[in-house]
């Protein structure tokens, strides 16, 4: 009477053992991304107040970002530099994070956002969406990717300082951090990166990600495909024009970089860009689609461009 039961347990146990490796290999990192955790990071940044370059609040933001990255196992370095601006010389600091790996492996894909806020003299600008949302999303990405070291090893996080122009975007105003990062990288070293994603203003409650018309064609196609696979395609569309943003210097040195931005945000560059205009669900949507894109497209095929 007992022998058939023992045999059945043995067989079932054997099936479980054989199934585990496949299940582990097909880890769905897009299901691990938490919009709520991402939102909590944005709340913390907003609590620091306005974060223009050179401010004490931005230094607190740097310490917070570095602390969260290190908690997830990332190694962080500061890329500090001084640049001429319409307001004189200003010190900026980019934050760069890599996951420690054995051997000579180097990251091949960039995930970026700017973490400072635009300088205003007449309003209190806390940049919940513009500066906060992309940063919060990257910090949650760092937590998720750290649980998958093989994927994490392929990623370099860059938190840009000085994205905002003091007066108007030109070769000498705006994109200070990304332009410096691109210059330091140079065209030859840029070849190690197959692509990048820039996240900017991705937390609005009524989310509508608007890909600029100058987006790398294949990357845009795959982002749309990722959104379609997760039944989230309705949140993604094209903008009716090109966009000057931190992806611009990266594309200029040969790193195909797509700007995931919601430029339908009515409170852009106003005092009303506050945390109540954002939702964890929107961050969840963008994070899940980006994670799906990374796992199933960008990092799945070494030849992907």
Within a domain: 91? yes
Domain span at residue 272 reads 29-298
Above pLDDT 90, what percent of the chain? 86
- pLDDT averaged over every residue in the chain: 91
Model pLDDT, residue 104: 66
User: What string of H, E and C letters represents the secondary structure of the chain?
Assistant: CHHHHHHHHHHHHHHHHHHHHHHHHCCCHHHCCCHHHHHHHHHHHHHCCCCCCCCHHHHHHHHHHHHHHHHCCCEEEEEEEEEEECCEEEEEEEEEEECCCCCCCCCCEEEEEECCCCCCCCCCCCCHHHHHHHHHHHHHHHHHHHCCHHHHCCEEEEEECCCCCCCCCECCECCHHHHHHHHHHHHHHHCCCCEEEEEECCCECCCCEEECCCCCHHHHHHHHHHHHHCCCHHHEEECCCCCCCCHHHHHHCCCCEEEEECCCCCCCCCCCCCHHHECHHHHHHHHHHHHHHHHHHHCCCCCCC
C-alpha to C-alpha distance for 258 and 280, rounded to whole angstroms: 22
Within a domain: 13? no
Average pLDDT in the 167-175 region? 96
Model pLDDT, residue 252: 97
CATH of the domain at 270: 3.40.630.10
Model pLDDT, residue 103: 64
Within a domain: 110? yes
The CA angle 171-177-182, to the nearest 5 degrees, is: 75
Confidence of residue 173 (pLDDT cuts 50, 70, 90): very high
Within a domain: 304? no
Within a domain: 212? yes
What length does the chain have?
A: 305
Within a domain: 148? yes
pLDDT in tens, 59-116: 999 999 999 999 999 999 999 999 999 999 999 999 999 999 876 678 999 999 999 9
Give the lowest-confidence range in 4-18, 113-127, 131-145, 178-192.
4-18
Q: What domain count does the chain have?
A: 1
Within a domain: 88? yes
Within a domain: 199? yes
């Amino acid at each position: 009477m007992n022998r058939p039961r023992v045999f059945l347990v043995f067989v079932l146990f054997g099936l479980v053992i054989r199934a585990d490796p496949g299940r582990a290999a097909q880890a769905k990192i897009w299901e691990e991304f938490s919009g709520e955790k991402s939102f909590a990071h944005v709340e913390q940044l907003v609590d620091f107040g306005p974060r223009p370059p050179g401010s004490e609040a931005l230094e607190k933001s740097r310490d917070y970002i570095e602390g969260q990255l290190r908690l997830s196992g990332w190694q962080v370095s500061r890329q500090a530099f001084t640049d001429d601006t319409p307001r004189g010389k200003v010190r900026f600091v980019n934050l760069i994070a890599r996951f420690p790996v054995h051997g000579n492996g180097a990251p091949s894909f960039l995930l970026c956002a700017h973490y400072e806020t635009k300088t205003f003299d007449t309003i209190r600008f806390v940049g919940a969406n513009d500066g906060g949302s992309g940063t919060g999303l990257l910090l949650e990405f760092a937590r998720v990717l750290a649980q998958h070291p093989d994927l994490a090893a392929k990623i370099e996080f860059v938190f840009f300082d000085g994205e905002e122009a003091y007066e108007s975007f030109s070769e000498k105003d705006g994109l200070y951090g990304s332009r410096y990062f691109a210059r330091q990288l140079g065209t030859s070293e840029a070849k190690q990166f197959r692509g990048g994603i820039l996240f900017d203003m991705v937390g609005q409650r009524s989310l509508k990600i608007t890909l600029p018309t100058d987006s790398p064609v294949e990357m845009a196609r795959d982002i749309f495909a990722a959104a379609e696979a997760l039944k989230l395609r309705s949140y993604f569309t094209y903008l009716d024009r090109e966009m000057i943003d931190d992806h611009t210097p990266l594309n200029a040195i040969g790193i195909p970089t797509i700007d995931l931005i919601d430029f339908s945000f009515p409170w852009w560059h106003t005092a009303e860009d506050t945390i109540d205009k954002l939702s964890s669900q929107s961050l969840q949507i963008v994070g899940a689609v980006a994670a799906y894109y990374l796992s199933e497209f960008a990092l799945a095929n070494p030849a992907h461009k």
